[in-house]
Structure 1
Amino acid sequence: MKKSILVSLGAIVLFVCSSFAYGPTGHEIVGGIADKLLANTPTAARINALIDGMTLEKAVVIPDEIKSWDKNGADDPSGFPHYSDHPKIDNQLRDFWRANQPTHDLNSAVPSHHWFHYTDVPVLNAAKYSDGKTGRSKWDIVHMINYCIAVLQGETLENNPRKITKPVAVILLAHYVGDIHQPLHVGAEYFDEAGHAVDPDKGKAGLGDEGGNTFALHLKARTPEEMTHRALKLHPFWDNEAVMANLPSLPFTMSKEERYEKTERAKRRLIDRFTREEPTNWRLPRNVALKNYAEVWADEILPIAREAHERLRFTNVHAQHEENRVVAAGVAREKSASDHVAYADWAAKIVREELHKAGWRLADLLKQALTSTITNATSAPIPPEVTPAEPNTQAETQPSHP
């Protein structure tokens, strides 16, 4: 029988952090759900044609993989990644990276592709995305989801300044839909010079924690990372440990190859279950337009982002120089929760629910975006689809390991 989440959390994580392949597990779950929901539908055929036969489960990790080009550029012949099996997409991804090269200059006329993955809405007070300006921009995840939808629907030409073609738009959407369902990709805490939390939208200036990336996380129950003297950061905890807590515990003595194989099997079972079981409240009201989905999703996750910070006590808060910017840094310590649920257990449950919804929402978004594309292009009727489609019961070929 599976032990408590706090125990299972760490059994896999030591390997997760040392292997790039496991870091994207949450995104792969989202893509895998969408693959199965859309299997054998016209939408799946359109996706297959656009991304050259790649599964969404494979494509979904690409926006993070190409961050590896940041060091030496997209023209480095020895640099990871290469998508030689898909040369047209490989070239389009490199054009996308060149058009959106990394920068921390918030006044840059050319955005960084890193900015597209998140928004940093203040979480001190209950708020919606549209309630203020701090942490939002025309290049944040809310706007970029809409940008990609517009490309797929033909409202924005593929030869756009951001070099987001229709294949690239599918790849980015597959990833961004997962990101926007991660609380710390949407909400952030801000601190004044004394280390007190403030709300810049209420007129009090503060430094942001960049979604928890600059805060060490101290949980009441020691994690395997702490026991092996590994630093645990708040944001990566939500990206990795809280995801892996939903997979079985494995012994430390197991080989990397066997660990990978067993984890992949467990991930496949989770994808299968999430595909069979329709998540609660995943559909948005019919009067919400597709172009407004991202903002509604952001508003939905913000209370969770707020609670993710409220369950912690922030100490030793100070200004820290990160390259050419200054951010807030310090320690986030778990507080005793009124519901008596440990932070790691609570986070794992939230992540499980959000990944489940994200997979169904990705399938639905792509179906709507690609159906409207065909509708705009031709008067021929579109074959009916279930939204999402019934799960494919046939065995699938697992994607290659990144």
Structure 2
Amino acid sequence: MKKLACIVALSGAFASFNAMAWGNDGHKIVGAIADQLIKGSKAEKQVQALLLPGESLEKVSVWADCVKGSYCGPQTPEMMAYTAANPKHSEYHYTDVPFQLTEYHDHGVGTAEDDIVQTMKQAILVLQGKDTPATNPHKFTKRQALLILVHQAGDIHQPLHVGAGFVSKDGQFVVPKTQAEIDSLNIFDARGGNNLLLDDAKIEATSSQLIPPPEGDAKPSTAPKSTTKPFHSYWDTTVVNYAMRRSSTRTPQQFAQWAIDSKPNIPVNTGEVVSWPYQWANDALAVSKLAYGDVKIGAVSKQTSRSTGESYTVWALSVPDNYPVPSSAIAREQLIKGGYHLASMLQKIWPN
């Protein structure tokens, strides 16, 4: 990528920290790929036994995000029971390992007992029958374990849901050696890239030249919006849109079929299935280095959360002019990996 940077404005509202990894379309792509790949297997029968009539991996792939609020519709009794039993459920979606590192280690900087790697392990053990709703730390039922695992298979392949940026007081990315060093005085937690702000208008302008929308698309909305986009949000949703545009697909099902038809070369998982989340986290760390490659930290300022009144530090972030091209290529590859890895995991849990 060329090291041509854009200057980022700092005005505008700040996005929620609970933004969905990959967004609805991204998670549904992962689920739709896995739906196709497990057809005719024992895993498909076991999955169907845990899903309700009319459900599929694609349809339930967003369940773990939908429980965070009412944006998918009213909370069901099942959702309310899950959130009541899991008050930290929003923390199950990510871990915050410094992106410069090469491996996820239990109890390492940025990890937690409730992070994505640990909760995936617990869900796997429940589905394997090696743990029970009464004994696992989060009281996951088999159905909940499946719903969570389907979603997390997408989350863990989103590079910023594993590799995190930590910023020094002089505006440089650094690697904290201990959790205690992240004190918001000398080392700041950029919250998975949520506190790194891109110039949204600049990104849209360059992407329209590099990644033209499909013919017949409606004109973009002229409604007022924030002038900035959190780096995390860009990787959650914007790159998925770019990836779909570059593959000339409009729906998760179309993208899934396009991906399978392309016969991708997917890395093979090795060892016990309970170790696979570690392998995927390490892969995402490697990819996060590409996501953060050639980005530049700019001016620092303070913003205040509209919902909590919390004051936090934000930084302008600049990226190369052609960033939409390599970032969308990475997203496309990670989405496909997520679908194939999810299918492989389910077939490992329930072998033929």
TM-score by structure 2 length? Answer: 0.78
Q: Please state how far the C-alpha of 1:353 moved relative to its aligned partner.
A: 0.5
Structure 1 position 247 matched with structure 2 position 244:
yes
1:83-106 Cα shifts (integer Å, max 9, x gaps): xxxxxxx544322111222xxxxx
1:270-281 residue pairs with structure 2 within 5 A? 270-281=255-266
1:101-250 residue pairs with structure 2 within 5 A? 101=87, 112-123=88-99, 125-130=100-105, 133-159=108-134, 160-201=136-177, 205=182, 206-218=187-199, 221-223=202-204, 230=226, 231-248=228-245
Letter of the aligned partner of 1:129 in structure 2?
Answer: Y
1:13-71 Cα shifts (integer Å, max 9, x gaps): xxxxxxx9x9410000000000011123221111111112310000001111111159x
Q: Please state how far the C-alpha of 1:169 moved relative to its aligned partner.
A: 0.7
Q: Which SS does the other structure have where 1:315 is aligned?
A: strand
Q: How many residues align?
A: 305
Contact 2:195 2:313 (8 Å CA) reproduced: yes
Distance 2:189 2:264 in 1: 33
Q: Please state how far the C-alpha of 1:193 moved relative to its aligned partner.
A: 2.6
Identity of aligned residues (%): 28
Q: Which residue of 1 aligns with 2:68?
A: 67
Letter of the aligned partner of 2:153 in structure 1?
Answer: V
Q: Please state how far the C-alpha of 1:81 moved relative to its aligned partner.
A: 3.4
Instruction: Pick from 318, 321, 326 the counterpart of residue 346 of structure 1.
Output: 326
Structure 1 position 283 matched with structure 2 position 268:
yes
Distance 1:132 1:67 in 2: 26
**Farther off after superposition, 348-357 or 317-326:** 317-326
1:236-259 Cα shifts (integer Å, max 9, x gaps): 11111100112238xxxxxxxxxx
Q: Please state how far the C-alpha of 1:326 moved relative to its aligned partner.
A: 6.8
1:114-173 Cα shifts (integer Å, max 9, x gaps): 1100001112x3331128722101110011110100111122212345231101111111
Q: Which has the higher relative contact order, 1 or 2, with Cα contacts under 8 A spaced 6 or more apart?
A: 2
Contact 1:65 1:81 (8 Å CA) reproduced: no
Contact 1:30 1:57 (8 Å CA) reproduced: yes
Letter of the aligned partner of 1:66 in structure 2?
Answer: V
Q: Which SS does the other structure have where 2:110 is aligned?
A: coil
Letter of the aligned partner of 2:199 in structure 1?
Answer: H
- Distance change >3 Å, CA 134–CA 324, structure 1 → 2: farther
- Distance change >3 Å, CA 306–CA 56, structure 1 → 2: same
Structure 1: where are the runs of 5+ without partners? Answer: 1-19, 71-78, 83-89, 102-111, 250-261, 337-341, 372-383, 385-402
Instruction: Pick from 74, 79, 86 the counterpart of residue 81 of structure 1.
Output: 74
Distance 2:45 2:152 in 1: 21
Structure 2: where are the runs of 5+ without partners? Answer: 1-19, 206-219
Distance 1:198 1:226 in 2: 39
Task: Report the structure number with the largest CA radius of gyration.
Answer: 1
Q: Which SS does the other structure have where 1:317 is aligned?
A: strand
- Distance change >3 Å, CA 127–CA 220, structure 1 → 2: farther
TM-score by structure 1 length? Answer: 0.69
Distance 1:184 1:221 in 2: 21
